[in-house]
Amino acid sequence: MQATASFKLTLLRGMLAGLSGVSSRNMGLLERKAAIKHAADMAMAAARGSGARWSRALLTDLSKRKAAPTGAGSRLQSRPLHGCGASSFGRKFLRRSFRERSCRAWKRRPAAPRGVASASILARRMVKKRAQVLRRLVPGADALDGFSLLEETLDYAVSLRAQVELMRGLTGALAHHSGSPAARSYQETNKDS
């Protein structure tokens, strides 16, 4: 599945408009990276419109982040740090409680018949876990059922692919225009594609 030409054109226009405010002179590397990502995400969500749940969720998230204080330090502090700073007691307690829960569940569980029934149970578990992963990856997909989740995921993946192609094209054009040694190495590595 490919993104339409009108989507790519709208994405390009939005990306160029968003990048026009990014200046390398008064920004550090992390600030510039965050600004480019913000512009790319905003352009992608705006190009898709409000038809997809992920685009509405992404625009909402981006507007909340924009309202937060700016600066590299505040951006880094606003992200949740999973597992960082947890005490060793907390980790041991979580491991022990998880072990106890899984042992209790194992004791309660009746012996599953071998063959087809156990294979179907395993397949259901795998599908459930993969759906949970998709719900974490796709913005706004946390309350979707199976088919809607797959539809949103496909739409989001197609949009991300178009965004990557556009950013590669922009990088190649800028590298070609600058004529620097880095541009020559970029051109040599991307001759095949």
Distance CA(115)–CA(73), nearest Å, equals 55
pTM over cut 0.75: no
Inside any domain, residue 182: no
Contact in structure between 141 and 135 (CB atoms under 8 Å): yes
Inside any domain, residue 95: no
Give residue 170's domain range. 5-78+100-174
Based on C-alpha coordinates, what's the Rg of the chain?
A: 23
Inside any domain, residue 47: yes
Inside any domain, residue 165: yes
CB contact set of 135 (below 8 Å; sequence gap of 6+): 141, 142, 144, 149
Inside any domain, residue 89: no
- At 116, the amino acid letter reads V
Domains contained in the chain, number: 1
Which pLDDT value is given to residue 28? 85
Inside any domain, residue 90: no
Q: For 138-174, how does the pLDDT look when each residue is reduced to its tens digit (9 = 90+)?
A: 999 988 998 999 999 999 999 999 999 999 998 888 8
What percent of the chain is predicted at pLDDT more than 90? Answer: 36
